[in-house]
Chain A
Amino acid sequence: MFLLFTACFIQIEAKVKDINYLFFFSVIVVIIFAAIVLYHMIYPDGNRLIINNMCMLLMIGFIMITRLSFSKSVRQFIIASGSIIIGFFVPDIIFKFKKLRDYSIVYAILGLVAIGIVLLLGSATNGSKISYTFLGVTFQPSEPVKILFILFVAASLYKSTDIVHVMTTSALAAAHVIILVLSKDLGSALIFFVVYLFMLFVATKNFVYLGSGILLGCFASIVAYKLFTHIQVRVSAWLDPFSQVESGGYQISQSLFGISSGGWFGLGLFGGSPESIPYVEADFIFSAIAEEFGIIFACIMIVICLSTFIMMMYEAYRLKDRFYQLIGVGIAVTYIFQVFLTIGGGTKFIPLTGVTLPFVSYGGTSVLTTVLLMSMFEGITVIRYEESYKDYLKRKKERQEYEENYEAYRQE
């Protein structure tokens, strides 16, 4: 990982010949290395694969963003390091503060207020109201609201899964989704919807909920398609980007040009022209990576994302505490679905939704949120480890009792 990073850095340095880059890269290496070592020291029971994958993806992101824009990369780095430092405390909070599960309604209200404010007061970028500026800092609330949303759903569904309770929870979750749709933040709306659906499925184990949820989702998509012209534009750009290259299909066309010109092994850093894709550092970072590092590398990166997801699901599977299990599933699904939307959108697999690739893409709020989500997950792993340890102690005790009994029986 560090070797790859250094090699890429040398290539960038050779191209730009600027001492600031050297300094910047050294700092990144030190911080990431420190993060990995410290995590392992402070939380020896945490899941190392998840942390290592996270750092790997962050570093791929830094290389690509630095190649595209140095100042953006520095900004990204400052936010990421801040998030990692905050992240150090999160597992401890999760682990010690067991009352988290009692505030379901508080999470929902906070979340709804945050995204509601954006809907009413937010500034529109590209037709979507997704951010607002507070004290000079532009903020994208739909990102951190993901955390609140997962906490809310987990806390609510963990209590009970009878039909009335499920319905009220669903209504509140639907309120989130509707506000996001009204803000025209379709990517986030879709993520919230899918996360809720799968968390509900895990909580209830009921295929009827899953099936009716999917049907409802399809119905809602058709209605949304009929109502909103910008969805129609996206869908038609997805079906045939090249005929509309001057209008709606421009981004996706340029993205496809980038991926294909990279070939299997890529054109090398600075060899391609990913700048031709609008918003390349956020929504289309995958295309830039495929162009300059090659399709094979890009696919390996997808596999890293997928392995992170599977590891998270495995951890969640082994958890006994249903509340933490639901949080784990929520985080894992949020993560992997966002990866799917970004990569699928940029490669014309699905219509474009305009979400970022977790850890890799440029975007302060996004990095902060995903690092915090992963830290929360580490907290859950610590709990899982403790559970297993308690379980082990219990079994050990049982075994001892059993052997004592057996011994006693033989002696009789």
Chain B
Amino acid sequence: MKKTTKHTDRNDNNKEKFSDKPYPIIIISVFFSAVFICLISYICWYSYNNKQDLVNNSHNTRQAILLAQNSRGSIYSSDGQVLAETTTDSEGNESRNYPFGDLFSHIVGYSTNGKAGIESLANYYLINTSIDLSKKVEAQESGTKFPGDSVYTSLDVNLQQIAYNQLSAYKGAVIVSEPKTGKILAMVSKPGFDPNNIEKEWDSLINSDGTELLNRATQGLYPPGSTFKIMTSLEYIRENPSSYNNYSFNCTGSFTSGTDTIKCYHGENHGTLDFFSSFAKSCNSSFANIGLSLDRSSFGDTLSDLMFNDELPLELNYSKSSATCNESMSTSDMMQLAIGQGTTSMTPMHLNMITCAIANGGTLMKPSVINDIESADGKVVESYSPTEYKKLMSSEEASILTEMMKGVVETGTASRLKGLSYTAAGKTGSAEFKESSSDSHAWFTGFAPAEDPQICVTIIIENAGSGGEYAVPLAKRLFDAYLEN
């Protein structure tokens, strides 16, 4: 008997002890362990993900350390021509050399007095080196710096040259890209500057009234004019998917609603139009009429879909386009919006991206200008494959818009592209930028061949006149050069 009682006593003791244990200590220990696991994961994650941004930050003095060890890498065009390189003279002084002078001024950019263009975009790679250890030893023995990694771009010297020459003395911008990959083949902005002399000319560049440093292709905000009828048409198709073909309008050269009047370009009288011919002839009166029929909040949503007032998937510096449509807009505002005038403004790059999406069945590829990064001894460090950004419109909508843009070439304002060995599609624009003046910016945006789009071109020539007369011939040159070789 004695034995059993003893046993129960001891068990009770144990139980009592357990409930008496200071369990909060365990809770606190587990809590802090969890907090520290989060902290460690966070540190690893953060420094891994943001390494490039942090190194590129202009306040980071550590860039100087890297540049003391490595000489800045080179930038090449798609066919391997040098666009930027660092040369060292006999006394060991480094200088940055741009063989093409001001041809690539904005897109390649500069690396002194701040950074711009690809020089800024790929700065992290240009100042780091990935050459083999054995090559590093060789360089160290010969007393030279390690060569930084090279950037291979998608830029095409030939197309860039044509765009540059054809713009001649006009201000403006040209963008040539591949709709299926998002690769930028050429980007010209005029007036430019010679990056070789950037240091010498810096003061005059930033003090002058001119805007030489501005990359008009991505940062210039222009009234889109008639090219904006692409957005208005897309909204009209969305609202009238089965009946847009039944649209009919009689143009008398102007359109009046209440006290507000919209005139066609040079007051031209277009006669009886359907939806397609309104677009092809770029009839302002007809589109003002269409604009008034649209559902305002739905048009606002479509504009958001098309990335207006929003970020673009672009790593270069750019400005945000703006076009708003809401219930509180007046009749006059609505008519101005429909034809891309008034407060609406857009960058050429943004228009190029929308055109690319139309050419690519509605899907926008993320624009890119860098193909890959290679070390000086030829190892591929980083390779960029085309990535989809998002679907801006359905493929049906894209094919209707393509048909309409083909109509512009065949029967409308871009007839200078008619009858070639390929079929082009596009939209012209003549954007008025001053009240009570007939001066206008010449726009063209389009692609070719329409059946299987390979190349997409967006052009703006400031203060030149009509798009059909001035911008379309430039587009023809670029299409010819790209498709006929």
Contact = CB atoms under 8 A, between A and B. Distances in A.
B6 A245 contact: no
B43 A259 contact: yes
Interface stretch (A43-51, A123-131, A306-314): A306-314
Contacts of B169: none
A272 B62 contact: yes
The size class of the interface chain A forms with chain B is 35 or more
B258 interface: no
A292 B469 CA distance: 63
Given A310-B33, A317-B25, A409 B62 contact: no
B275 to A, nearest CB: 48
Interface stretch (B51-59, B82-90, B345-353): B51-59
B2 A261 contact: no
Interface in A302-351: 302-303, 306, 309-310, 313-314, 316-317, 325, 329, 333, 336-337, 340, 343-344, 347-349
Nearest to A333: B28
A240 to B, nearest CB: 13
Given A257-B54, A260-B54, A295-B44, A313 B29 contact: yes
B482 interface: no
A340 B35 contact: yes
A145 to B, nearest CB: 22
A261 B54 contact: yes
B43 A257 contact: no
B26 interface: yes
A405 interface: yes
A100 interface: no
Interface string A244-261: 010000100110111111
Contacts of B11: none
Contacts of A402: 6
B3 A336 contact: no
Nearest to A200: B24
B46 A306 contact: no
Contacts of A290: 43, 47
B57 A242 contact: yes
Interface in B17-71: 21-29, 32-33, 35-36, 38-40, 42-44, 46-47, 50-51, 54-55, 57, 59-62, 65
A149 to B, nearest CB: 17
A273 B62 contact: yes
A333 B23 CA distance: 15
Given A256-B54, A260-B51, A202 B28 contact: yes
A295 B36 contact: no
A88 interface: no
A329 B38 CA distance: 22
Contacts of B65: 272-273
Contact of A201 (B24, B51, B60): B24
Contacts of B2: 405, 409
A402 B5 CA distance: 12
Contacts of B51: 260-261, 263
The size class of the interface chain B forms with chain A is 20 to 34
Contacts, number: 118
A85 interface: no
A302 B39 contact: yes
B433 to A, nearest CB: 33
Contacts of A333: 28, 32
Given A202-B28, A316-B25, A325-B22, A257 B39 contact: no
B477 to A, nearest CB: 44
B43 A298 contact: yes
Nearest to A406: B3
B182 to A, nearest CB: 28
B50 A340 contact: no
A110 interface: no
A245 B59 contact: yes
B270 to A, nearest CB: 51
A347 B43 CA distance: 7
Contacts of A121: none
Contacts of B6: 402, 405
Given A257-B54, A273-B62, A310 B35 contact: no
A205 interface: yes
Contacts of A253: 57, 59-60
Contacts of A273: 61-62, 65
Contact of A257 (B23, B32, B60): B60
A358 B338 CA distance: 66
A215 interface: no
Nearest to B25: A317
B28 A306 contact: no
Contact of A202 (B25, B33, B46): B25
B100 to A, nearest CB: 33
Contacts of A316: 22, 25
Contacts of A302: 36, 39-40
A349 B25 contact: no
A342 to B, nearest CB: 11
A329 B25 contact: yes
B300 to A, nearest CB: 30
Contacts of A306: 32-33, 36
A138 interface: no
Interface of A: 198, 201-202, 205, 242, 245, 250, 253-254, 256-263, 272-273, 276, 290, 295, 298-299, 302-303, 306, 309-310, 313-314, 316-317, 325, 329, 333, 336-337, 340, 343-344, 347-349, 402, 405-406, 409
16 contacts: A242-B59, A254-B59, A256-B47, A257-B57, A257-B59, A257-B62, A298-B43, A299-B43, A306-B33, A306-B36, A313-B29, A325-B25, A333-B28, A340-B39, A343-B43, A347-B42
Given A257-B59, A257-B60, A295-B47, 19 more contacts: A245-B59, A253-B57, A256-B47, A259-B43, A260-B55, A261-B62, A263-B51, A290-B43, A295-B44, A298-B43, A299-B44, A302-B36, A306-B36, A309-B29, A313-B28, A316-B25, A336-B36, A349-B38, A405-B6
